[in-house]
Amino acid sequence: MRPGYLQLRQLETGAPIVGAGLMSGTSLDAVDAALVEIVLSREPPVKLIAYHETEISHELRGRIQTAMHPRRSSVDLICQLNVELGELYAEAVCHVAKKGGVSLDGIDFIGSHGQTIYHIPHPQLERDWKTASTLQIGEPCIIAERTGITTVADFRLRDMAAGGVGAPLIPFVDAFLFADPQRDVLCQNIGGIANCTLIRRDGRILAFDSGPGNMVMDLLVRRFRPDLRCDVDGRLARRGQVLDYLLTEALAHPFFAQSPPKATGHETFGGEFVDWFVRASRDAAIEDLIATAAELTAGSISDAYRKWIFPSATPTEVIVSGGGVKNSFLMELLRNRCPEVRWRKIDEWGIPSDAKEAMGFSVLGYATLCGIPANVPGATGANHAVVLGKIIPGRRIDKLRSFPAALEQLY
């Protein structure tokens, strides 16, 4: 069976399709919305029309962080946030449509990742949890009702039902955009979590989360410098000194030794990890903490390459995306640790770094509506490829005529 990304590239399509992708990640700073045009016969097949970030307020961010915390969360809080975030995502679609000069009626579908509240990629028998599980909120029924647009959401659970860890999902998009039969391609996203995708020249894919991206740095900044959202361009880290004893202890975390497929998130490298990181630092200065956290990100990425990428592949460059590309200090660390590859921003391919994951969920939503399996078993560990997500029909059911597979799934 051909990989899903090849099935999608080889579909016969008519008129251009306009989709919106929505993503709010572990940084919790904004809802990213990307408006795209998809023409499979064109290179590249996905063109960005507009991108917009709808800010998540300080108050809402605090409640989401509370909902993510196992000991402080509550079912009523998660219930309320599910609907509130659905409203915010619908607002984000309206903003990006206006920015792109496209009416809501001109958008064929929405692909929404939602906000991950908790992700348990493996059973935890010591807690009597016999199944893996995950929860993303941001109610898609609200999005579909407010915008009138068919919405695809809740992508991760179908992969987990098929035996996967539910992440990462963007490797399908990386392969759809960058697969090359002449060379091995390596893509690196540095969002809250860092994840990489190796697309071998023979089409086989290896992808996994390598550990924290910006998450630990961002949480430290918000704890000690609430006037800042992040360490802009790595300026604080650049003034600090790496605490070798803390870095060594942090890199001893069992996640880093775990072989792929593997996925992680806030539940592993979020608030509780940062609590430990601060305690173990022995009252270090904030600049030293952030410098060490930056080295943790760079070190875990480079270590992952040397363990699982470079022994079996020969990429000559890394296509980097996500907020981490704006941190020049972090990028310097990566270049110093892996000088054998050229580090290139995805912007060079006409895809803004910040917009890549939101664009990715428009592609994943499109694949679902076309009936194309979009998980990558080599990345998630699933037993087989599956069509991802749930479809919430919009008011214009006639628009689904462009997607016969979606009509078959619904009716």
pLDDT digits (tens, 9 = 90+) for 19-70: 999 999 877 889 999 999 999 888 889 999 999 999 999 899 999 999 998 8
Predicted local confidence at residue 411, as pLDDT: 54
> How many CB atoms are closer than 10 A to CB 226?
9
pTM of the model: 0.92
Is the model more confident about 192 or about 27? 192
pLDDT value at 171 more than 90: yes
Predicted local confidence at residue 122, as pLDDT: 83
**CATH number belonging to domain 4-169+354-402:** 3.30.420.40
Is the model more confident about 99 or about 410? 99
What percentage of the chain reaches a pLDDT higher than 90?
A: 82
218-227 own/partner pairs: CB under 8 Å, 24+ apart: 218/27, 218/29, 218/192, 219/270, 219/271, 219/274, 220/274, 220/277, 220/278, 220/286, 220/289, 220/290, 220/293, 221/286, 221/290, 223/274, 223/278, 224/286, 224/289, 225/286
State the DSSP string of 203-249: S-EEEEEEEESSHHHHHHHHHH-TT-SS-GGGHHHHTS---HHHHHH
Q: Are 361 and 23 in contact (CB under 8 A)?
A: yes
Q: Is 365 exposed, middle or buried (0-12, 13-18, 19+ CB in 10 A)?
A: buried
Average pLDDT, the chain: 93
Predicted local confidence at residue 255, as pLDDT: 97
Predicted local confidence at residue 123, as pLDDT: 82
Domain range summary for the chain, segments of one domain joined by + = 4-169+354-402, 175-353
pLDDT value at 409 more than 90: no
Q: Is 74 exposed, middle or buried (0-12, 13-18, 19+ CB in 10 A)?
A: exposed
Type of residue at 77:
L
Task: Give the 3-state secondary structure of residue 257.
Answer: helix
Q: pLDDT tens digits for 364-404?
A: 999 999 999 999 998 999 999 999 999 999 987 666 666 76
> How many CB atoms are closer than 10 A to CB 128?
7
User: Are 4-169+354-402 and 175-353 in the same CATH fold?
Assistant: yes
Q: Which fold has domain 175-353?
A: Nucleotidyltransferase; domain 5 (3.30.420)
> Number of H helices and number of E strands within the chain?
17, 13
Spell out the residues 6+ positions from residue 163 whose beta carbon is closer than 8 angstroms to its own.
Answer: 381, 382, 383
Predicted local confidence at residue 12, as pLDDT: 74
Split at pLDDT 50, 70, 90, the class of 130 is confident
